[in-house]
Amino acid sequence: MQLVSYRRRQGADVGGGAAPRPGVVDGERIVDLVEAAGDNGDPAPDSMLALLRLGEEGLDLARACLDRSKRTGDFAVPASEVRLAAPLPRPNSMRDFMLVEEHVKNSFGTVPEQWYRLPIHWKGNPDTVIGPDDEAPWPHYTDKLDFELEVAAVLGKRAFQVTPEQALDCIVGYTIFNDWSARDIQFREMEVKLGPAFGKDFATTLGPTLTTADSIDISTARMSARVNGETWSEGNLGAMVFSFAEVISTLSVDQPLQPGDVFGGGTIGRGCGLEMDRWIAPGDVVELEVEGIGVLRNPVGQKRPTPGYGIDLIRTTD
């Protein structure tokens, strides 16, 4: 099952700032969960996060709505008449790990010893999530904007002090995770042994769907990155130093984790421009594809002008 958040291209959703609605993909249609659940007298979650907070009951509700729509033909809108948003337009939280060794080697030359011992990660900014076909912003302080080809696990249950086996059961599904990266300022931040912050926090794309865990084998799903239609990277997630279940279990020892928490698994080998010394430019179109999830497409915006106030982030010397 593929869950989505969407807006209609026409009608009340257009121009009024309407919140994205939760839906389920049914071929070339999107089943509206609010309408389908409400018509049956069931609780009608008005967002993907609200749906996930219902736990198993929420997934059962989505399946029942999908089945009801298939039988009746009601409660659905043609996919051509909607615009997808990020499946979770504002996640409960976001963490991104570095779990693929080839990416670490290609990016830094050597693999730090502690990488094999600690599930290294940074925390993302839920307020700068963008979705399919949204323009990726280009911050004024970077000349080296980069994409990252990743898959993320999403929690559908609360997880606190759970084993890896229990953690696996808490994962509701997977989505594509592209944490846009300003490489030049990112490496400056890393010289201070903290961050990344400015290097990452301006944008992360999620989407196009949240594919439930029972519908995909994330370890073998084919993955690719294209820029302006040219394939830059192909592969799969492959071997990870720690599994999603292991890192979620480890975090849960001291941190209660919640439905709607997102965990990026890290870039696959050669899954970003940095590893290949190839760089995108304003106006480019980046497409990330994961078998079973879909194609996540974003045009790249023009570099923003220097604001003329605040700390000068461009200056590197006195």
Q: What domains are there in the chain, each with its CATH number?
A: 2-85 (2.30.30.230), 93-303 (3.90.850.10)
Distance CA 297, CA 205 (A): 9
Longest dimension (CA), the chain: 69
What integer pLDDT is reported at residue 15 of this predicted model? 53
Contacts of 312 (CB under 8 A, 6+ apart): none
What integer pLDDT is reported at residue 223 of this predicted model? 98
pLDDT along the chain (318 residues), means of 10: 94 69 98 90 89 96 96 96 98 97 91 95 97 98 98 98 98 98 96 93 98 96 98 92 98 98 96 96 98 98 96 90
User: What pTM did the predictor assign?
Assistant: 0.96
Distance CA 227, CA 284 (A): 7
* Peptide bond connecting 196 to the previous residue in cis, omega within 30 degrees of 0: yes
Cβ-based burial of 289 (10 A; exposed 0-12, middle 13-18, buried ≥19): buried
Distance CA 126, CA 123 (A): 9
What integer pLDDT is reported at residue 73 of this predicted model? 94
3-class DSSP state of 148: coil
Q: What token pair was written down for 178?
A: 């592209």
Dihedral (CA of 285, 224, 2, 178) sign: negative
